[in-house]
């Protein structure tokens, strides 16, 4: 699954979210996440917002960094260990995914972005 965080026609973050099999223990699975920062989208947003009343650049940098580091959220804040596929699917879709969406939705709401899921 791909989750894009968009500003108008520009993508700010391209987040890949999937379940993968352990390379050594073929019967064990875990969730995985990769986040690509899209420089053009971030720059276009900053170009439109730096200097506007109420826009806090330091807070935006902090919040954007948290999105960039979502893989760390997955591995450091959760027990994303290798487990059988049926357990992993439940954890992926019913535990991790709602939390992930909550983080992304909060960020989008704060800055007027929107989330697109493929």
pLDDT in tens, 10-33: 999 999 999 999 888 888 999 999
Residue at 72 is within a domain: yes
Structure pTM? 0.92
* Range(s) of the domain holding residue 47: 2-113
In a domain, 118, yes or no: no
In the block, tokens 């596929």 appear at: 85
The SS3 of residue 112 is coil
- φ/ψ of 115, rounded to 5, equals -105, 135
Asked whether residue 71 is assigned to any structural domain, the reply reads yes
Tell whether 79 is covered by a domain. yes
Domain presence at residue 70: yes
Cα angle for residues 72, 73, 78 (degrees, 5° grid):
110
Our count of domains for the chain comes to 1
Q: Are strands 114-117 and 2-7 parallel, antiparallel or unpaired?
A: antiparallel
41-57: per-residue pLDDT in tens? 999 999 999 999 999 99
Q: Is 75 a domain residue?
A: yes
């Amino acid at each position: 699954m791909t989750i894009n965080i968009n500003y108008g026609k520009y993508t700010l973050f391209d987040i890949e979210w999937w379940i993968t099999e352990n390379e050594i223990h073929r019967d064990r699975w875990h969730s995985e996440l990769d986040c690509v920062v899209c420089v053009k989208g971030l720059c276009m947003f900053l170009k439109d917002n730096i200097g506007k009343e109420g826009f806090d650049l330091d807070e935006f940098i902090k919040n954007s960094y948290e999105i960039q580091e979502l893989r760390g959220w997955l591995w450091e804040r959760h027990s994303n260990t290798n487990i059988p596929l049926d357990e992993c699917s439940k954890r992926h879709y019913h535990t991790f995914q709602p939390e992930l969406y909550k983080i992304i939705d909060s960020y989008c709401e704060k800055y007027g972005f929107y989330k697109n899921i493929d």
